[in-house]
């Protein structure tokens, strides 16, 4: 198992190009199964999770190829196997998103209940009820969901909570259902809008994505041989912004959509970070300078569904809060168990107390290097951010969680001056010479 080995204390300076969105890609890749032919996707991040999704799609008979940097071609002409390998679905929750396309195109499906990051109960009841509302007969037994339909038809769905995954999943299945589907209390995340834009690009008729009500008018066929570019990853951008801020550095983030980052950027500004939009595509900044000339101040965080502060940024932001001046209350309203990682930050000297869904973070003068373990993807990101500012050396275990969602994280940070290295734990001496 590889580790990250970090020597903190270097202010980051330079430019970082942000990759494509993990969560949008993980919903768009299975949506390609609806197309009876080829689709070309650009800006797909080269991360473990997109490769896992490619493996799931290949298992169904689709042809999936990474044809260039961040470019993937999916040919779903021979999509004929209505089953997803249990091992892959348990490894990554998004694998479950193939259920809808299987029902839509093949009329049958067999998919295991999903796994993924351990951050709460994370049931799939909204997905199942949503697909049932489209006329699918679904049963869950022994951890396996099986489904049949003689043809999906439009239906009315209202989610108890605006679930990003259930919204994109049901929207995708409904794209080829017979009639009109309405999703109420839909998630409004930019990734949901991106999936709708992709589907509309291949001929679907979806209105209202990005608002609480999404209306889908089913079509019988989608266009082949199209190309679509996935949005940039707002979580990757936000993580680099926290890394710049905690090291009191200056970093220009390239390939971002500033609007998508607004809840995070506003919070960083409240903490004293300077945020300057640079180049723009029309009215939309596509590069932003993040500068933190001095130590940041604490600010409270309330993680909520979009357009609230994103739960996926809660952890890197808490890492920044640990060395900010003052006290902050951090509440996560999306997942009930997303504070497990704070124990690791406390090993580095952070002062954090957790009670239920709320953490109280008291800023300390400095963190100290330690050996810590990433328990999930964003926990890993938080530990990297913390280690970049810690005095001394930090070894971060569980790097495989980070690899699920960040492409070349260490390399990107090295290019802006960070002393971070992947290390083979068997030969630490080799690393020590390298830094
Ligand atoms: N929920 C249910 N039933 C369901 C679905 C969701 O009760 O059927 C609950 C969840 O337990 C949670 C809340 O609804 O409390 C919201 O979950 P949501 O469905 O929105 O999350 P998700 O779709 O499973 C995606 C991202 C997560 C991100 C959340 C929230 C992907 C592959 N994952 O998960 O990303 O935290 O939306 O924005 O898109 C990450 O990138 O680190 C990550 C965990």
Confidence band, pLDDT 50/70/90 cuts, at residue 69: confident
What does the alpha-carbon distance between residue 211 and residue 277 come to, in Å, rounded to a whole number? 26
pLDDT value for 433: 42
Do 369 and 398 lie in one domain? The reply is yes
Domain limits at 157? 22-229
Ligand 1 atom showing the smallest separation from residue 162 Cα: 20
* Residue that is written with structure tokens 């999916």 in the block: 74
Do 222 and 246 lie in one domain? The reply is no
Q: At 249, list the tokens.
A: 């550095």
Which tens digit of pLDDT belongs to each residue from 150-178? 999 999 999 999 999 999 999 999 999 99
Give the 3-state secondary structure of residue 358. Answer: strand
Given a contact cutoff of 8 angstroms between Cβ atoms, the answer to whether 422 and 2 are in contact is yes
Q: What separation in Å is there between the alpha carbon of 163 and the centre of ligand 1?
A: 6
Alpha helices in 390-427 (DSSP H): 399-405, 409-415
Angle at 267 between CA 298 and CA 271, to 5 degrees: 35
pLDDT value for 119: 52
**Mean pLDDT score, 56-61:** 97
Q: Please give the share of the chain, as a percent, with pLDDT higher than 90.
A: 89
Residue nearest to atom 36 of ligand 1 (CA): 312
Question: Which H, E and C letters describe 39-63, residue by residue?
Answer: EEEECCCCCHHHHHHHHHHHHCCCE
Q: At 220, list the tokens.
A: 């019988």
Pocket around ligand 1 at a 6 A CB cut-off: 22-23, 26, 93-94, 117, 120-127, 161, 163-166, 187, 189, 311-312, 334-335, 377-378, 405
pLDDT at position 203 over 90: yes
Given a contact cutoff of 8 angstroms between Cβ atoms, the answer to whether 6 and 409 are in contact is no
Q: What separation in Å is there between the alpha carbon of 424 and the centre of ligand 1?
A: 33
Do 225 and 237 lie in one domain? The reply is no
> Hey, which residues does 6 pair with through a beta bridge?
394, 420
Chosen domain end from 171, 206, 229:
229
Do 279 and 191 lie in one domain? The reply is no
117 included as an active-site residue:
yes
pLDDT value for 336: 85
Do 77 and 201 lie in one domain? The reply is yes
Give, for ligand 1, the residue of 163, 356, 381, 402 to mutate: max count of ligand atoms closer than 8 Å to Cβ. 163
Q: What separation in Å is there between the alpha carbon of 125 and the centre of ligand 1?
A: 12
Length, in residues, of the chain: 435
In the predicted model, what is the mean pLDDT of the chain?
94
pLDDT value for 227: 97
pLDDT value for 428: 54
pLDDT at position 76 over 60: yes
Residue nearest to atom 26 of ligand 1 (CA): 23
Give, for ligand 1, the residue of 132, 334, 341 to mutate: max count of ligand atoms closer than 8 Å to Cβ. 334
Give, for ligand 1, the residue of 47, 98, 122 to mutate: max count of ligand atoms closer than 8 Å to Cβ. 122
Distances (CA, A) of 270 to 57, 112, 146, 265, 290: 43, 44, 49, 9, 13
pLDDT value for 337: 84
Do 316 and 388 lie in one domain? The reply is yes
Alpha helices in 82-225 (DSSP H): 86-91, 99-106, 125-133, 164-174, 190-201
Residue nearest to atom 23 of ligand 1 (CA): 165
pLDDT at position 120 over 90: no
Confidence band, pLDDT 50/70/90 cuts, at residue 186: very high
What total of structural domains would you count in the chain?
A: 2
What does the alpha-carbon distance between residue 435 and residue 433 come to, in Å, rounded to a whole number? 6
Ligand 1 atom showing the smallest separation from residue 376 Cα: 42
Give, for ligand 1, the residue of 161, 189, 398 to mutate: max count of ligand atoms closer than 8 Å to Cβ. 161
pLDDT at position 209 over 70: yes
pLDDT at position 297 over 50: yes
Q: What separation in Å is there between the alpha carbon of 273 and the centre of ligand 1?
A: 29
Give the 3-state secondary structure of residue 192. Answer: helix
Which tens digit of pLDDT belongs to each residue from 25-35? 999 999 999 99
Which residue in 117, 242, 298, 346 is the catalytic one? 117
Do 428 and 283 lie in one domain? The reply is yes
Which tens digit of pLDDT belongs to each residue from 314-366? 999 999 999 999 999 999 999 988 999 999 999 999 999 999 999 999 999 99
Q: What separation in Å is there between the alpha carbon of 230 and the centre of ligand 1?
A: 19
What does the alpha-carbon distance between residue 93 and residue 257 come to, in Å, rounded to a whole number? 26
**Mean pLDDT score, 63-91:** 94
Residue nearest to atom 7 of ligand 1 (CA): 123
pLDDT at position 430 over 60: no
Distances (CA, A) of 58 to 85, 181, 260: 10, 29, 32
Do 98 and 198 lie in one domain? The reply is yes
Give the 3-state secondary structure of residue 324. Answer: coil
pLDDT value for 115: 62
Residue nearest to atom 33 of ligand 1 (CA): 23
DSSP assigned state of 175 = T
Do 52 and 186 lie in one domain? The reply is yes
Q: What separation in Å is there between the alpha carbon of 122 and the centre of ligand 1?
A: 7
Q: Helices 164-174 and 125-133 meet at what angle, rounded to 10?
A: 20
Confidence band, pLDDT 50/70/90 cuts, at residue 117: low
Given a contact cutoff of 8 angstroms between Cβ atoms, the answer to whether 16 and 254 are in contact is yes
Confidence band, pLDDT 50/70/90 cuts, at residue 269: very high
Chosen domain end from 184, 205, 229:
229
Confidence band, pLDDT 50/70/90 cuts, at residue 41: very high
pLDDT at position 195 over 70: yes
Question: Which H, E and C letters describe 256-300, residue by residue?
Answer: CCHHHHHHHHHHHHHCCCEEEECCEECCEECEEEEECCCCCECCC
Confidence band, pLDDT 50/70/90 cuts, at residue 114: confident
Which tens digit of pLDDT belongs to each residue from 211-261? 999 999 999 999 999 999 999 999 999 999 999 999 999 999 999 999 999
Phi-psi region of 293 (alpha: psi -120 to 50; beta: other; left: phi over 0): alpha
Do 223 and 238 lie in one domain? The reply is no
Confidence band, pLDDT 50/70/90 cuts, at residue 435: very low
Residue nearest to atom 28 of ligand 1 (CA): 312
Confidence band, pLDDT 50/70/90 cuts, at residue 1: confident
> Hey, which residues does 353 pair with through a beta bridge?
360
Q: Is omega for the bond preceding 307 within 30 degrees of 0, making it cis?
A: yes
Ligand 1 atom showing the smallest separation from residue 191 Cα: 39
pLDDT at position 103 over 50: yes
Within a 10 A sphere around the Cβ of 93, how many other Cβ atoms?
18
Do 222 and 243 lie in one domain? The reply is no
Q: What CATH number does the domain containing 384 carry?
A: 3.65.10.10
Instruction: Name the nearest CA neighbour of 368 among 432, 323, 429, 324.
Output: 323
pLDDT value for 141: 87
pLDDT value for 295: 97
Q: What separation in Å is there between the alpha carbon of 70 and the centre of ligand 1?
A: 24
pLDDT at position 432 over 50: no
Contacts of 26 (CB under 8 A, 6+ apart): 49, 50, 53, 92, 94, 97
* Residue that is written with structure tokens 């001496």 in the block: 429
pLDDT at position 283 over 70: no
Segment (H or E) for 372: strand 371-373
Chosen domain end from 229, 247, 267:
229
Residue nearest to atom 19 of ligand 1 (CA): 163
Give the pairing of strands 108-112 and 144-148.
antiparallel
Given a contact cutoff of 8 angstroms between Cβ atoms, the answer to whether 256 and 300 are in contact is no
Segment (H or E) for 214: strand 214-217
Q: At 150, list the tokens.
A: 């003689």
What does the alpha-carbon distance between residue 49 and residue 403 come to, in Å, rounded to a whole number? 8
Angle at 251 between CA 249 and CA 252, to 5 degrees: 160
Residue nearest to atom 9 of ligand 1 (CA): 122
Q: What separation in Å is there between the alpha carbon of 8 and the centre of ligand 1?
A: 32
Segment (H or E) for 190: helix 190-201
Tell me the pTM: 0.96
Do 179 and 244 lie in one domain? The reply is no
């Amino acid at each position: 198992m590889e580790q990250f080995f970090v020597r903190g204390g270097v202010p980051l300076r330079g430019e970082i190009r942000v990759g494509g969105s993990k969560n949008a890609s993980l919903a768009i890749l299975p949506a390609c199964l609806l197309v009876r032919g080829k689709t070309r996707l650009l800006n797909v991040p080269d991360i473990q999770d997109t490769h896992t999704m490619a493996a799931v799609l290949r298992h169904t008979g689709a042809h999936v190829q990474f044809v260039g940097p961040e470019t993937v071609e999916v040919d779903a002409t021979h999509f004929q196997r209505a089953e997803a390998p249990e091992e892959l679905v348990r490894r990554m929750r998004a694998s479950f998103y193939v259920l809808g396309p299987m029902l839509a195109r093949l009329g049958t499906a067999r998919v295991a209940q999903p796994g993924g990051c351990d951050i709460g109960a994370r049931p799939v009841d909204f997905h199942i009820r949503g697909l049932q509302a489209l006329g699918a007969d679904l049963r869950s037994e022994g951890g396996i969901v099986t489904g049949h339909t003689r043809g999906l038809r439009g239906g009315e769905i209202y989610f108890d909570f605006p679930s990003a995954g259930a919204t994109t999943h049901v929207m995708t299945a409904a794209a080829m259902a017979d009639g009109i589907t309405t999703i109420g209390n839909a998630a409004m995340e930019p990734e949901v809008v991106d999936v709708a834009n992709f589907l509309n690009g291949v001929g679907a008729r979806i209105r209202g994505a990005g608002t609480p009500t999404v209306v889908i008018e089913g079509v019988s066929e989608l266009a082949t041989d199209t190309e679509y570019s996935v949005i940039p990853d707002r979580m990757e951008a936000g993580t680099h912004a926290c890394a710049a801020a905690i090291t009191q550095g200056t970093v220009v983030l390239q390939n971002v959509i500033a609007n998508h980052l607004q809840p995070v950027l506003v919070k960083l500004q409240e903490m004293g970070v300077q945020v300057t939009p640079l180049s723009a595509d029309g009215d939309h900044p596509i590069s932003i300078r993040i500068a933190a000339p001095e130590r940041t101040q604490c600010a409270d965080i309330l993680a909520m569904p979009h357009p609230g502060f994103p739960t996926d940024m809660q952890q890197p932001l808490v890492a920044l809060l640990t060395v900010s001046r003052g006290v902050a209350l951090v509440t996560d309203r999306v997942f009930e168990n997303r504070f497990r990682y704070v124990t690791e930050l406390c090993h580095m000297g952070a002062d954090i107390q957790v009670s239920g869904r709320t953490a109280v973070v008291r800023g300390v003068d400095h963190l100290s290097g330690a050996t810590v373990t990433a328990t999930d993807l964003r926990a890993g990101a938080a530990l990297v951010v913390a280690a970049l500012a810690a005095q001394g050396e930090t070894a971060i275990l569980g790097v495989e969680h980070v690899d699920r969602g960040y492409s070349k994280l260490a390399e990107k940070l090295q290019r802006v001056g960070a002393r971070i290295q992947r290390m083979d734990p068997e030969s630490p001496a080799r690393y020590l010479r390298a830094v």
